Amino acid sequence: MTLTKGYAAKSAGEALSNFNFQRREVGSHDVQFDILYCGVCHSDLHQIRNEWGGTNFPVVPGHEIVGRVTKVGTLVTKFKQGDLAGVGCLVDSCRDCDNCKKGLEQFCRNGATSTYNSKDKHLGGVTYGGYSKQIVADEAFVLKISDKLPLETVAPLLCAGITTYSPLRHWKVGKGHKVAVVGLGGLGHMAVKFASSFGAEVTMLSTSPDKEKDARKLGAHHFANTKITEQIKALASKFDFIIDTVSAQHNYNDYLAMLNTDGVMICVGAPPTPSQIMAFSLIGGRKSLAGSLIGGLPETQEMLDYCAEHNITSDIELIRMDYIDKAFERMLAGDVKYRFVIDMATL
């Protein structure tokens, strides 16, 4: 085992601080890499505050992890020392159930192993995430990273990227579709980039009018301030798809009203509190309310390759490790442009 430096929340709501823990030795199928950058996802914030329940403390968050390989196991074929590598939200699954066999490891029937706060099959205890110096994972759950893109802007693709790419691909969103993205944060800005790259006409629905200029730069064709009732009303029945990335409670019925006949609203944002949905919001217009969870390993690699080919990256603000509590505060206030990424050299 290797003693590894990390940054952890030791109880709900407490500031993060130094935390040393063990990583396993490199097994025959394992890849070990030094973490260079780690993105900061709103899911990290939900979990350090135990807003979804089930957080095991201390928790080392971080599931947008990129770095350089230091050691590989004897049977590893995809990686060698010195390669770039990435880990997203998953580090293992049963690999045997129908969903795993379809490359939908995120829906593993036997419970996928999340990068942090999951049961650690190797060492006991729980898994620890990317706010740390190094990580060891089975090569089946390690992604190949192109050296064409600035590495720090690639980290957020491992969660924010795949979480928005996957539903857009699943529902075959593209040319001729009118798509709205709700919430311009980490996920939202990637949804805008992908939807416009796939050829859709994109509208940004935001509570922050000061983000309009950026939204257009990111690829949105239109912008509406959801705090202004007239702007919302004017969008009735407009969209084929809505990607909802909002992290806090909001009224889904207001957005369902903006769907066209047979439209689909896809929730990727995961507010900790339940919402009331009126059946009437769906009945008129035969509308669907759907959800989507990250993406499987094959699709995550496909997304990374697509980004390398089409020069798609995350717009980031690089921060020091000890800025993390301030970053979380700003995230809560919607002040993220558009993903915080931690420079792990500062840990």
Site for ligand NAP in 121-180 (CB under 6 A): 159-160, 163
DSSP H or E segment with residue 223: strand 222-225
Residue 94 touches which member of Zn ion, ligand NAP, none, C-beta under 5-8 Å by kind: Zn ion
Is 206 among the residues that bind ligand NAP (CB under 6 A)?
yes
Binding of ligand NAP at residue 118 (CB under 6 A)?
no
Q: Locate 261 and state its tokens.
A: 């006949």
DSSP state of 283: H
Angle at 128 between CA 6 and CA 45, to 5 degrees: 85
Is 193 among the residues that bind ligand NAP (CB under 6 A)? no
Among 183, 219, 263, 296, binds ligand NAP (CB under 6 A): 183
Cα–Cα distance measured from residue 285 to residue 289, given in angstroms and rounded to the nearest whole number: 12
Please provide residue 295's backbone torsions phi and psi, each rounded to the nearest 5 degrees.
Answer: -170, 160
Beta bridge partners of 7: 18
DSSP state of 230: H
Binding mask 6-45 for Zn ion (x = CB under 5 A): -----------------------------------x-x--
Distance, CA of 214 to CA of 166 (rounded, Å):
23
Residues 290-329 that bind ligand NAP (CB under 6 A): 292-294
Gap between the Cα atoms of 158 and 295, Å rounded: 9
Among 42, 71, 169, 193, binds ligand NAP (CB under 6 A): 42
Whether 48 and 62 have beta carbons less than 8 Å apart is answered as: no
Counted residue by residue, the chain has a size of 347
CB atoms within 10 A of CB 178: 21
**Binding flag, residue 94, Zn ion (CB under 5 A):** yes
- From candidates 207, 253, 260, 288, binder to ligand NAP by CB under 6 A: 207
Which of 90/259 has CB closer to Zn ion?
90
Task: Choose from Zn ion, ligand NAP, none: what does 334 bind? Cβ within 5-8 Å by kind.
Answer: ligand NAP
Q: One symbol per residue from 241 to 270: x for binding ligand NAP (CB under 6 A), - otherwise; what is it?
A: ----xxxx-x-----------------xxx
**H helices within 106-177, ranges in order?**
151-154, 160-170
Contact 133, 22 (CB under 8 A): no
CB nearer to Zn ion: give 94 or 282. Answer: 94
Q: For residue 77, how many other CB atoms are within 10 A of its CB?
A: 8
**206 interacts with, out of Zn ion, ligand NAP, none, CB within 5 to 8 A per kind:** ligand NAP
Position among 211, 219, 242, 328 found at the interface with ligand NAP (CB under 6 A): 211
List of residues contacting ligand NAP (CB under 6 A): 41-43, 46, 159-160, 163, 183-188, 206-208, 211, 245-248, 250, 268-270, 292-294, 331, 334, 336
List of residues contacting Zn ion (CB under 5 A): 41, 43, 93-94, 97, 100, 108, 159
